[in-house]
Amino acid sequence: MTDPNQPAYYSAYPPPPSAFAPAGWAAPPAPPRSRALGVTAMSIAIPVFVLSVIASVVVGVSAGPLATRTSSSFSFNTSDLTAQQAEAFAPVAVLMGVQILLGTALGILALVLGIVAVATKRGRPFGVVAIIVAAAAPIVSFAVYTATLIATLPPA
């Protein structure tokens, strides 16, 4: 039974809150998030980039003179080295292995931390720099290695 004095839209429940006017007190603004994750990602990515380029120069300059060059190509085979050349090249080979293993691991770490920093807004600008630097490092490093290797090849 309805009360004839009540309008037809009357309900026993209160009306839902309007989308335009918040009900109750407004929530306090969220405190700013720490930039530490983005800064950490960038502080890993930049040294890895620089050290990888330096290692590429050292490896390229050391491997170039030991490569065999023909009129149309070149090759580098450690079995073609003399004992003295192999002994001199051993530290460079270790550097190359460290660059590949450690540089890759730290580069991936910087890339992942940068992505998380950007996605969670914890140092977003630093995270973007870390992503760009970590992604560019292997490309630039390989280009530098190739250029230095070709520049130091013995004449054909």
Three-state secondary structure readout of the chain:
CCCCCCCCCCCCCCCCCCCCCCCCCCCCCCCCCCCHHHHHHHHHHHHHHHHHHHHHHHHHHHHHHHCEECCCCEECCHHHCCHHHHHHHHHHHHHHHHHHHHHHHHHHHHHHHHHHHHHCCCCHHHHHHHHHHHHHHHHHHHHHHHHHHHHCCCCC
Q: What is the pLDDT of residues 11-46, one digit of tens each?
A: 666 666 666 655 566 777 778 889 999 999 999 999
Does 22 or 93 have the greater pLDDT score?
Answer: 93
pLDDT at 2: 58
For the ranges 31-45, 47-61, 78-92, the lowest mean pLDDT is seen at 78-92
In whole angstroms, what is the distance from residue 117 CA to residue 104 CA? 20
Amino acid letter, 60:
G
Position 114 in a domain? yes
pLDDT score recorded for residue 67 = 76
- Is 115 a residue whose pLDDT tops 60? yes
Quick one: tokens of 19?
A: 């989308």
Half-sphere exposure of 116 (CA within 13 A, CB side): 13
> Residue 3 corresponds to which tokens in the numbers above?
């009360």
What one-letter code names the amino acid at 119?
Answer: A
> Does the residue 96 lie in any domain?
yes
15 lies in some domain: no
Model pLDDT, residue 24: 64
Tell me, yes or no, whether 17 lies in a domain.
Answer: no
Share of the chain above pLDDT 70, in %: 82
124 assigned to some structural domain? yes
| 21 domain-assigned | no
* Residue ranges making up the domain that contains 59: 36-70+81-151
Mean pLDDT of 98-108: 94
Residue 131 lies in a domain: yes
Number of domains in the chain: 1
Q: Is the pLDDT score of 74 beyond 80?
A: no
With respect to residue 100, please indicate whether it lies within any of the assigned structural domains: yes
> Are 61 and 146 in contact, with CB atoms under 8 Å apart?
no
Mean pLDDT, rounded, of the chain: 85
Let me know: does 82 contact 106? Beta carbons within 8 Å: no
